[in-house]
Structure 1
Amino acid sequence: MTARPPSRRPSHEPGAGRRPEGLGGTVPATFLPARARAGRAESASPVRAGRGVRPAPPLGDDDRRRLLHGAHHDPHALLGAHPVPGGIAFRALRPYARAVAVRAKGLHVPLHDEGDGLFAGVLPLRDVPDYRLLVTYDDAEPEVHDPYRFLPALGDLDLHLIREGRHEELWRALGAHPMTHEGVEGTRFAVWAPNAQGVRVAGDFNYWDATGHPMRSLGASGVWELFLPGVGEGALYKFQITRPDGSHTLRADPMARRTEAPPANASIVHVSHHTWTDDEWMARRAERPVHEAPFSVYEVHLPSWRPGLTYRMLAQQLPAYVKDLGFTHVELMPVAEHPFGGSWGYQVTGFYAPTARLGTPDDFKYLIDALHRAGIGVLMDWVPAHFPRDDWALAEFDGRPLYEHADPARAAHPDWGTLEFDYGRTEVRNFLVANAVHWCEEYHIDGLRVDAVASMLYLDYSRAEGEWTPNVHGGRENLDAVAFLQEMNATVYRRCPGVVTVAEESTAWDGVTRATHHTGAGGFGGLGFGLKWNMGWMHDSLLYVAKEPVHRKYHHGEMTFSMVYAYSENYVLPISHDEVVHGKRSLVSKMPGDWWQQRATHRAYLGFMWAHPGKQLLFMGQEFAQGAEWSEGHGPDWWLLDPSYAAEPDHRGVRDLVRDLNRGYRATPALWERDTVPEGFDWVDGGAAEDNVLAFLRFAADGSPLLAVSHFSPVVRHGYRLGVPGGFAGWQEVLNTDEERYGGSGLACPDPVKPEATRHHGRPSSITVTLPPLATVWWRGI
């Protein structure tokens, strides 16, 4: 928003219309600056209006120029009240004012007009009184507190932690915070801009003219601070930064906790009024480690799940829908503020603010609260890999590379036209680590899925030879990014019990889900994530099912290879938004054959996915076999579930299957209790390539098994023999994706299958079953 000088001072001047607390009464000494407290018991000699005031010592030319240009590091040394020989000098910078007077108990004195909005005078007082400024404009005369009479509202410990890069609650120190400071209500503004010549606050409270509100530098911390009395919740603001070359730039607050809705981009002073009601959820979410618990995730793009719904409207529909389908968690595609909706939230400008497109921060908390009350965990996509180049956001924030790397080759992301963070700078690393903690603590987020981890880990990511510089050891690993991810994970797990971090990491980096203090084959400590997306399983299995059944026997290894490395990490099996956009087709449309075969293969694939070691993630729309690719413009094709639509049973049947998969999964410890150890899995037959069959056992901690068989051929196989563990009187079919109610042919076996003492597949007993076409069947030993 461009600064617009007013023709007259607005009536909403901070503090306008308020009678100062001290006029006509006694002000406690603790409400005064420290320099004014000495001798406070002695009343200052009253000075009547217009009497006893003399010109103040003039500002030096350099101080005056820098102050008016917004390039002064210490405006509080020039403005406000200061002892001088013969009295107290008062100076105020009030652009567009006709006159300024000092008012206190028994005191009303107009100051001399020094030009350029500066007003000053020396009063024959021993001490600085508890004073106000009476500012006269063309049509208003507000009486206000002087911002330059206050001591810094940011403590030494905060500044020390910021310099050290160890302020784990950075959002409580920087940004805009309404507070009572020295007995006066207002807002403390603080921003990190170490390269700036000066910083000023612009907002709707000063008609976006920052001239009268310069901030002070708090030394080597690089932080600038100003307490503005009378500014409160809901005020719009930005920081006007004077760059090293003397030019100005108007920037949104990197720490803003609330923003305007795009395309507007001002920051908003925010105070949360939400009262959480999820105490029970928060108390028990850490009872069981995530990798040993049921964990099935419904991935959601909130703006398009049902377009037009706000956070609060979503709270009335989303929890009920997800709970009905039996998912344990939702994963929200990025909700942090972003300027371009077409980025789906992956190009973030407001790292500490949920997008205003759907409501306020408290509205977003209301949605999370509702999901928790429904027993559903909330993960969110978190994007610390890069940020966009918008000239009102983080790029060259204070006139030089600050959040991005100083080396342009390191700063520019080669794929997305964005900038990469400088993970080697302590303050930048602190900004991101604190951001992760912020979402977990302030918004009760249960997990962070960290986007594009591979692009962070490798210096040569998407870069050709000669376009990157090796690390100090001559390798291609980004050592700064490794240290950052380790610190982030360690901090989140220490501070937020029950929270899980999930890496989208597409390479074979060793130790993504290993503890940070354990060294792996690469010589690095583990990255410390709780889970990792299994991109290899996703790619291989989708390649297999996209083949015509007659060709699948040549690609059988694509379906079994995942078990070679299944226990190298703690995995999530992701069928995410990335797999159903940009010409990749929806999940059901990837399958070959006619519509019946496509849906059948879709169902069989989901049955295989839910039985395979690892957690599950499914993107919205795929739970009812939407045929079209996802579009953020209109979201899922909900009309496919309308009973008036002729093919509705086809889609509703798939949704019913997903519901039963989730219910069966949660009720079967064999499918999740030993997900990350080899003892939880055993092949029955992983080599039946000619039959397009994959048969395996899953085991719970007590040894109880589940037999899962996936048959990816469009024929019925009668009398198919499978070796099974002994000690069971029968094997009961507990899920069959070919059931008629799911849209299948109905080739099911409701009665238990009795085992025979016939050795098969290396086991002492076996069962003979009929395999439905293009189906997955689960049996439980009874």
Structure 2
Amino acid sequence: MLRHRPTWRKHVALDKPPSEPGRAEAPAPLPAEERARLLAGTHHDPHALLGVHPGPDGVVIRTLRPYAEAVTVVAGGWRAELADEGDGMFGGVLPAAPDSVPAYELVIRYGAEPGEDEITTADPYRFPPTLGELDLHLIGEGRHEELWRALGAHPMTVDSVAGTRFTVWAPNARGVRIAGDFNHWDPTAAPMRSLGSSGVWELFLPGVGAGALYKFDIARPDGSHTLRVDPMARRTECPPATASVVESSRYVWHDQEWLTARADAAPHREPLSVYEVHLPSWRPGLSYRELAGQLPRYVRDLGFTHVELMPVAEHPFGGSWGYQVTGFYAPTARLGAPDDFRYLVDALHRAGIGVLMDWVPAHFPKDEWALARFDGTPLYEHPDPARAEHPDWGTLEFDLGRREVRNFLVANAVYWCEEFHIDGLRVDAVASMLYLDYSRGEGQWTPNAYGGRENLEAVAFLQEMNATVYRRCPSAITAAEESTAWPGVTRATHHVGEGGFGGLGFGFKWNMGWMHDSLEYMAKDPVHRKHHHGELTFSLAYAYAENYILPISHDEVVHGKRSLVAKMPGDWWQQRANHRAYLAFMWAHPGKQLLFMGQEFAQGAEWSEEHGPDWWLLDPSYPAEPDHRGVRDLVRALNTEYLATAALWERDSEPAGFAWVLADAADTNVVAFLRFAAGGSPLLAVCNFSPVVREGYRLGVPEGWDVWREVLNTDALRYGGSGVGNEKPVRAEPEPASGHPVSLGLVLPPLATLWLRPTT
């Protein structure tokens, strides 16, 4: 293809005004095999046949335009009508020197009469490749950390011509073409060229801009065709429609103050109180921009420091809650455009609220228009069917041993943090990635090279992902949903520990053990709790093995598990009292905390993605509204006191930040412990998980703190409790208890948690 653009020499055959075009001489026909491959969409280099090429008598211009009646080449004031070669092929020989062809255009007529249904466009096949050698090298190495800038659909201007560059990785395809609303979904005229061993296919289409719909028509190794969405699409149609959408962001951010403050943050030594949200159902029917008018205000009023959004990436089935992703680079179009999602994140940041997001690199669905067998072969999934098939979810697992697949996912993690200013990623289903025998029985899995059950490829991927995110976005955080005792989940990747593995490099880990044990304890009738006391206290045996987040997530309030308040035993009053006491225990326990929407006001029903939280419970006209408002007021008070008390978060990851006062009082269902900051006063948390008032209950406290004041009581009347407590400050007395020389004589309300702090 010629790349020179000097003035076109005036030859006699073309020396006519535009209204009287010359007729180009028909070129020699293409070799039959080459022509057939081009028309079948299986040619690896359509640019070698189409566009401008030297010929024996000048230059040959050839274009493929199905359904056209005529095609005319225009350059400056000169025109030449091409000969119809059949099958939508038009070509001509122009008496011009090979190095003198200018930037020409094609006038394509679809109507029967001259001038009828004409379009004018630059020829896609006169442009050189628009993807650089460095991009291709990095893609081939699996090290392109900004992969979304290289692959996908990108509006751009080339040689003063506006259009869109399309690129896709499909190394085993026999050919790739582009179908879209701009060519009536007929890909015949838009075959892409292969860029060699990189496996990338590329084409610049003039005149195509943001908002255009497209898919890739892929010729598989067996010659059959499949129409696929773009794995790198940054925008999609709204489900159930599935097309990819050409996207170009125009958003201007206003969160610099937040980002500047975040850069100086030390997440492990700062407060982190998370409100988990399923955006489509938090307020059903609201768009991203409408949510931006309500969600930040609500979350800020309750005092949460962060929201965690259940997966935002595009997914075809709403009932999957976003955990079966088909568009890893596209925010779901159900709620608006990508810039609308940016607006929501920006609004949360401007309200002082961080944004965490669920990220799902463990698996993907089998939809025939998405990633599964993308180019006719197992490309993103593992080539071994036993390894590819996820046994629990009917999905496919990524081939994490393939560098291009790892690159796709690592770059995706960076993409959300950089392009959408996400403050952290909660990585879903990490345990299912780490173990080769996860949900697989004997004979259904193959050990690793060392004979073990560990998935070494997944370990390497998670380490690479965490290291890359923390290097490029050092103020962001990652958190693992990992439910086993895998060592070093939150240890640095260079730190080799138990089993010889380096740390996985996460910033935090969800404490699933604490969650399961404590909920199991709370579900027991108080009369039986003394037999399960260890389930309440065991978490402190490993509380500092990792940097933990305590999660009461969506997973605990669906599928017959009941809502948090409904898990509690007793009548309605006791259920709410247990609920309140448990939340205060959770907020005081070492580790950050996460609470799923609806649980902040004791919703009685399980969550459903179809209607979201039962907001009507907070309607003043509802008779039981004070019961629910009281729990919400408690959550606000918990966060308020939490933010003001460094002892509750500054040493979450240090044993020096915690001390038991009473851990073995199983017969009374009482636990008490102290939390410490590096400086300042401690906080005493006392939980009475029995439905009786305990007068003069003696608990030892450190010397030097003479008077203690109740700063939070979950049994207070304003929270829906009975009003029992310690209204006046309590003085420490020289009576030894709990290993301390001085102690407090407290009134313990029924089914309640107290927080006390020294006044001096």
Judge same fold: TM > 0.5, yes or no. yes
CA distance in 2 between partners of 1:148 and 1:366 (Å): 38
Distance in 2, Cα, partners of 1:772 & 1:713: 9
SS at structure 2 position matched to 1:314: helix
Matched, 1:689 2:657: no
Q: Which amino acid aligns with 2:11?
A: S
Determine the structure 1 residue equivalent to 2:607.
630
- How many angstroms apart in 1 are the aligned matches of 2:724 and 2:218? 71
- The letter of the residue matching 2:81 is P
Q: Work out the CA distance in 1 between the residues paired with 2:736 and 2:23.
A: 112
The match for 2:457 is 480
Deviates more, 1:545-554 or 1:759-768: 759-768
Post-superposition CA distance 1:62-117 (Å, at most 9, x none): 10010000000000000001111220000000000011111112421111111000
Partner of 1:133: 106
Task: Name the CA distance, whole Å, in 1 between partners of 2:319 and 2:404.
Answer: 30
CA distance in 2, matches of 1:509, 1:707: 32
Deviation at 1:289, TM superposition (A): 1.5
Which residue is equivalent to 2:57? 86
Deviation at 1:563, TM superposition (A): 0.4
Matched residue, 2:704: 727
**Is it true that 1:36 corresponds to 2:7 in the alignment?**
no
Residue 543 of structure 2: aligned partner: 566
Shift of 1:286: 2.7
Query: How do residues 264-279 of structure 1 correspond to structure 2 at under 5 angstroms?
Result: 264-279=241-256
Letter of the structure 2 residue corresponding to residue 148 of structure 1: Y
Instruction: Please name the residue that 1:9 is paired with.
Output: none
Following the alignment from structure 1 to structure 2, what is the Cα–Cα distance between the partners of residues 426 and 128?
Answer: 42
Identity %: 74
Tell me the residue number matched to 2:572.
Answer: 595
Q: Aligned partners of 2:705, 2:511: CA distance in 1, in Å?
A: 34
Query: How far apart, CA to CA, are the structure 1 residues paired with 2:23 and 2:356?
Result: 66
2:37: which partner in 1? 66
CA distance in 1, matches of 2:571, 2:21: 94
Aligned to 1:302: 279
Secondary structure of the structure 1 residue equivalent to 2:464: helix
Matches within 5 A, 1:230-269: 230-269=207-246
2:395 partner letter: T
- Counterpart contact for 1:711–1:772, Cα < 8 Å: yes
What corresponds to 2:526 in structure 1?
549
Match among 610, 633, 648 for residue 656 of structure 1? 633
Which residue is equivalent to 1:218?
195
CA contact (8 A) 2:8 2:75 kept: no
Pair 1:102 & 2:73 matched:
yes
2:137 aligned partner, one-letter code: H
**Cα pair 2:23 2:83 within 8 Å, conserved:** no
Q: Give the Cα separation in 1 of the matches to 2:159 and 2:199.
A: 24
- The one-letter amino acid paired with 1:45 is H
**Equivalents in 2 of 1:81, 1:404: separation in Å?**
40
Alignment check: 8 A CA contact 2:213 2:244 kept: yes
1:41 offset after TM fit, Å? 6.2
The SS at the match of 2:295 is helix
Equivalent position of 1:25 in the other structure: none
What is the aligned counterpart of 2:399 among 422, 437, 440?
422
Normalised TM-score (structure 2): 0.97
Task: Letter of the 1:736 partner, please give it.
Answer: N
Aligned 8 A contact 1:52 1:124 in 2: no
Amino acid in the other structure paired with 2:328: F
The DSSP-based 3-state class of the residue aligned with 1:263 is coil
1:149-168 equivalence runs, <5 A? 149-168=126-145
C-alpha distance in 2 between matches for 1:605 and 1:473: 44
Are the equivalent residues in 1 in contact too, given 2:734–2:741 (CA < 8 A)? yes
Contact 1:114 1:120 in 2 (8 A): yes
Aligned position for 2:296: 319
Divergent runs of 4+, >6 A:
none
5+ residue gaps, structure 1: 1-32
Alignment map for 1:681-760 (pairs within 5 Å) = 681-702=658-679, 704-760=681-737
- Deviation of 1:287 after TM superposition, in Å, equals 1.6
* Distance across 1 between alignment mates of 2:499 and 2:257: 42
Looking at structure 1, the residues matched to 349 and 26 of structure 2 have their Cα atoms a distance apart, in angstroms, of 64
Q: Residue 130 of structure 1: CA displacement?
A: 2.1
2:144 alignment partner, SS class? coil
361, 380, 393: which one aligns with 1:403: 380
Residue 622 (structure 2) pairs with residue 645 (structure 1): yes
Q: Report SS of the residue matched to 1:36.
A: coil
1:371 partnered with 2:339:
no
What is the TM-score of this pair, normalised by structure 1? 0.95
Displacement of 1:745 after TM fit? 0.5
Tell me, what secondary structure is at the counterpart of 1:690? helix
Structure-2 residue corresponding to 1:45: 11
Q: Deviations over 1:749-776 (max 9, x none)?
A: 2221100111111111111011000000
What CA distance in whole angstroms lies between the structure 2 residues aligned with 1:319 and 1:44? Answer: 66
Task: For 1:123, give the aligned amino acid.
Answer: L
Distance in structure 2 (CA, Å) of the matches to 1:433 and 1:108: 50
CA distance in 2, matches of 1:739, 1:143: 76
Are 2:694 and 2:749, in contact at CA under 8 Å, matched by a contact in 1?
yes
Counterpart amino acid of residue 37 in structure 2: R
Q: CA deviation at 1:51?
A: 4.6
- Residue-by-residue CA offset, 1:113-132 (whole Å, 9 max, x unaligned): 11000011111101222211
Distance in 2 between the 1:533 and 1:315 partners?
27
Residue 34 of structure 1: CA displacement?
6.0
SS at match of 1:285: helix
Distance in 2 of aligned mates of 1:180 and 1:573: 50
